[in-house]
Amino acid sequence: MLKIAKERLNELYAKINETMGLFMPIKKAGEVNYHVWGEGKEVSLETLKTVKSPKNMFFPQTENMMKFKTEGKNIEIVDVREKLAAAAEDKPFVMFGVKACDYKAIEVLDKVFLAEPVDTYYQIRRNAATIVTLACSKPEESCFCSVFGIDATAPQGDVTTWLDENYLYWQANTEKGENLTKLVETLFEKGGEAEVETQKANTQAILEKLPFANLDLSRFKPENLNELFDDTRWEEMSEACLGCGTCTFVCPTCQCFDIRDFKTNEGVIRYRCWDSCMYSDFTLMAHGNSHTTQMQRFRQRFMHKLVYYPSQNDGLYSCVGCGRCVNKCPQRLNIVKVIKTLGGNKND
Amino acid sequence: MKDVELKMLERAKQLLESGEVARVIGWKKGEFYFDPAPASFETVEELGDFVYNGFCGANLSKYLIQASKKEGKTAIFLKPCDSYSFNQLVKEHRIVRENIHVIAIECQGKLDIEKIKAQGISAVTEVEEEGESVTVSSLYGETKLNKAEILLGKCASCKGKTHQVKDEEIILHEMPAPINNRFDEVAKLEAMTEDERFAFWREQLQKCIRCNACRNVCPACSCVKCVFDNPASGIEAKANDDKFEEQLFHIIRAFHVAGRCTDCGECSRVCPQNIPLHLLNRKFIKDIDGLYGEFQAGETDNGKTPLTSYTESDVEPNNALGGEAK
């Protein structure tokens, strides 16, 4: 294990930034989101939950996919992936400070975007990234990652780091991580095992006391699909839902998108953008819409996270317990209320 | 506040038991003291979860668009500021007044859990309100806060204690006096140079994730189908495009609700990126006040409004705001 004094972190960022792009939690206009690092930026590693999750780095909210340029009777198709791939090769990037829940969420997204047929737009960015995770030391009341078997005290990733009052501790886990370590190791000294173990134990004690630590997921199984789908309580659980997209857009695992064509003076741009199952035109097809009420849209979101996705991915839930929806739903609806209503609490 | 909650609960029970109303719209308990959610109660049993406390900031009026069209009467608890939105919705024929029983309730200012957390308090498990003091317990310790520091943005300027509509009231204590400072922030923006102001809004609006929470919660945004959601409109905009979000979406929305916005502040309350959207609306309100005389949308549920009526003496806004005559 390696360590670097906290007050020297800027040197570390600058060193990485010499050859690679560096994205990390940075405060801008009062809110912390993943932004490009630069001298003078207000880095906020201790922020547990950036408003937007890091998924935006691989699966941007809006991206152009291709352009159709028309000249007379000819249409030229410009594939933006060539540029994207060249840029990624030229300047791979580091995502620094990713929390355990958000890292797990990237695994959830990988199963969707990197399965056949591979989403090459996602893949290009994903391959270009080295992910440096940061262990949590001060989880808050809306956190429930442990329910999904995630260890907030020892996240995975290419490199895992821990931060205490004096030092950042650094441990490479993969080849990408080793390569990044080689780039910066002159800044580090050896040591920190004992401090990290102490922090892990302290955090573990808090994690056990968190109010949502005992959510019971046992009912959310593929064989209960019909029973859960037909539960009469969806109506009351969803009645206050505004049908906005906040929960889906702050969610680190929500992955739905829409693809549209946009007409410009020089031709047509085909883009994709995040979609939300909360929206009235979600999955709108020629025959109409398969979800016509807000209750159905609401049910879709939670059934996807807790039943549909796991039934196709060996039981892996597509909720990671980050708690963003708990904090951000305008009317205070969230997945915890759904899990408690339909599944219960282990202590009950 | 506990006595107010009990009185409200008692009244809700009576109304449901007697069959005077088919449902009561209020708030129900969440996982914590600080996360009650709006709810519709149809039976006395359901009222077991009923709650009214310092975190019931949500404006319930908009739920009446659907509820007031259902079978039977709907009773609703409205705080003074929510009553303006109610009137505005009646005026625009979006809710059916005769199907609604309005219970005007006391409000001592509502609290913002995000402001509590911004004080560095994490893992909040309990909040206790006692007069002007609020005690917050967390897994990391206990903190006493002053209520004034943690008021919701919309309560930091308050239209006051008068309900603009009521069929009955539950008010047990003196309510706080109005805080007339709602144009202070607007004045600061007006004092900026154009470039500074542009930079301010650009930085703020850049954060927009286009979740539409501001639009969907807004009682003035009550179109059955928003033009931006309508695939047939030709301008449906789901993509989060910097230029559009920064320069158009929120400004279009502010224009659309100008003269109808009651300044209920819900847009800023719900914004996940804390963009001060209410300032756009307040700028319009300030301008309307200056150009046409003081006007407060939602004060009444009828009558003419400055932007929807014409008189020959109407000002030419462009001249009045210091522009060149065209």
How does residue A281 score in pLDDT terms, banded at 50, 70 and 90?
A: confident
pTM value? Answer: 0.94
Say whether A330 and B273 touch across the interface (CB within 8 A): no
Shared domain for B263 and B128, answered yes or no, is no
A235 touches chain B (CB under 8 A): no
Nearest-neighbour CA in chain B from A188: distance (Å)? 30
pLDDT in tens, B224-245: 888 888 888 877 777 777 676 6
How does residue B324 score in pLDDT terms, banded at 50, 70 and 90?
A: low
For chain B, the domain total comes to 3
| For residue B118, pLDDT beyond 50 | yes
Say whether B209 and A30 touch across the interface (CB within 8 A): no
The pLDDT of residue B316 is: 80
Shared domain for B26 and B169, answered yes or no, is yes
Pick A144 or B210 by higher pLDDT.
A144
B44 touches chain A (CB under 8 A): no
Nearest-neighbour CA in chain A from B181: distance (Å)? 22
B48 touches chain A (CB under 8 A): no
Shared domain for B23 and B169, answered yes or no, is yes
Range with lowest mean pLDDT among A15-19, A93-97, B247-251: B247-251
Say whether B38 and A275 touch across the interface (CB within 8 A): no
Please state the ipTM of this predicted complex.
Answer: 0.94
A231 touches chain B (CB under 8 A): no
| For residue B21, pLDDT beyond 90 | yes
- What is the side-by-side order of every strand in the sheet holding B124-130? B124-130, B133-138, B141-146
Report the distance separating Cα A19 and Cα A96, nearest Å.
15
Range with lowest mean pLDDT among A67-71, A317-321, B295-299: A67-71
pLDDT in tens, B144-168: 999 999 999 999 999 888 999 999 9
The 3-class secondary structure across B206-228, one letter per residue, is CCCCCCCHHHHHCCCCCCCCCHH
With beta carbons under 8 A apart, name residues in chain A contacting B123.
138-141, 206, 210
Name the residue facing B37 among A48, A246, A332 (closest C-beta): A332
Check: CB of residue A144 under 8 Å from CB of residue A126. no
pLDDT in tens, B45-72: 999 999 999 999 999 999 999 999 999 9
Say whether B37 and A281 touch across the interface (CB within 8 A): no
Shared domain for B323 and B218, answered yes or no, is yes
Report the distance separating Cα B234 and Cα A63, nearest Å.
20
Mapped onto helix, strand or coil, the DSSP state of residue A56 is helix
Shared domain for B92 and B77, answered yes or no, is yes
Mapped onto helix, strand or coil, the DSSP state of residue A108 is helix
Shared domain for B62 and B129, answered yes or no, is no
| For residue B122, pLDDT beyond 60 | yes
The pLDDT of residue A347 is: 62
Say whether B36 and A332 touch across the interface (CB within 8 A): yes
| For residue B201, pLDDT beyond 80 | yes
The set of residues, in sequence order, having a beta carbon less than 8 Å from that of A157 and lying 6+ positions away, is A98, A103, A131, A132, A133, A173, A177
Report the distance separating Cα B319 and Cα B219, nearest Å.
32
Shared domain for B159 and B290, answered yes or no, is no
When pLDDT is averaged across residues B115-122 and rounded to a whole number, the result is 91
CA neighbor of B66 nearest in space, from A97, A187, A294: A294
Shared domain for B172 and B188, answered yes or no, is no
The pLDDT of residue A348 is: 59
- Cα torsion angle, B86, B88, B91, B95, sign: negative
Shared domain for B132 and B239, answered yes or no, is no
Per the prediction, chain A carries an average pLDDT of 95
B270 touches chain A (CB under 8 A): yes
B32 touches chain A (CB under 8 A): yes
Helix or strand holding residue B26 (H, E): strand B23-28
Report the distance separating Cα A17 and Cα A235, nearest Å.
51
Percent of chain A with pLDDT over 70: 99
Note the Cα A166 to chain centre separation in Å: 28
Shared domain for B160 and B189, answered yes or no, is no
Range with lowest mean pLDDT among A224-238, A327-341, B59-73, B218-232: B218-232
Nearest-neighbour CA in chain A from B18: distance (Å)? 23
The set of residues, in sequence order, having a beta carbon less than 8 Å from that of B226 and lying 6+ positions away, is B215
Report the distance separating Cα B21 and Cα A243, nearest Å.
27
Shared domain for B89 and B171, answered yes or no, is yes
Q: CB burial class (10 A; 0-12, 13-18, 19+) of residue A230?
A: exposed
Shared domain for B167 and B190, answered yes or no, is no
With beta carbons under 8 A apart, name residues in chain A contacting B124.
140-141
CA neighbor of A273 nearest in space, from A290, A297, A248, A293: A248
A242 touches chain B (CB under 8 A): yes
| For residue A286, pLDDT beyond 90 | no
| Interface subset of A 91-150, CB within 8 angstroms of B | 138-141
Name the residue facing B216 among A28, A243, A281 (closest C-beta): A243
CA neighbor of A304 nearest in space, from A282, A289, A285, A326: A282
| For residue B288, pLDDT beyond 60 | yes
How does residue A198 score in pLDDT terms, banded at 50, 70 and 90?
A: very high
The pLDDT of residue A61 is: 93
When pLDDT is averaged across residues B172-188 and rounded to a whole number, the result is 92
Report the distance separating Cα A273 and Cα A211, nearest Å.
35
When pLDDT is averaged across residues A260-270 and rounded to a whole number, the result is 86
Mapped onto helix, strand or coil, the DSSP state of residue B34 is coil
Which two structure tokens, joined as six digits, stand for B77?
């608890």
Say whether A29 and B207 touch across the interface (CB within 8 A): yes
Say whether B124 and A274 touch across the interface (CB within 8 A): no
The pLDDT of residue A39 is: 95
| For residue B17, pLDDT beyond 90 | yes
- Cα torsion angle, B160, B162, B165, B168, sign: positive
Say whether A211 and B125 touch across the interface (CB within 8 A): yes
| For residue A25, pLDDT beyond 80 | yes
Nearest-neighbour CA in chain B from A246: distance (Å)? 5
When pLDDT is averaged across residues B2-29 and rounded to a whole number, the result is 97
With beta carbons under 8 A apart, name residues in chain B contacting A139.
122-123
When pLDDT is averaged across residues A123-151 and rounded to a whole number, the result is 97
B49: containing domain: 1-112+153-177
Say whether A330 and B138 touch across the interface (CB within 8 A): no
Torsion on CA atoms B269, B272, B276, B279, rounded to nearest 10: -60
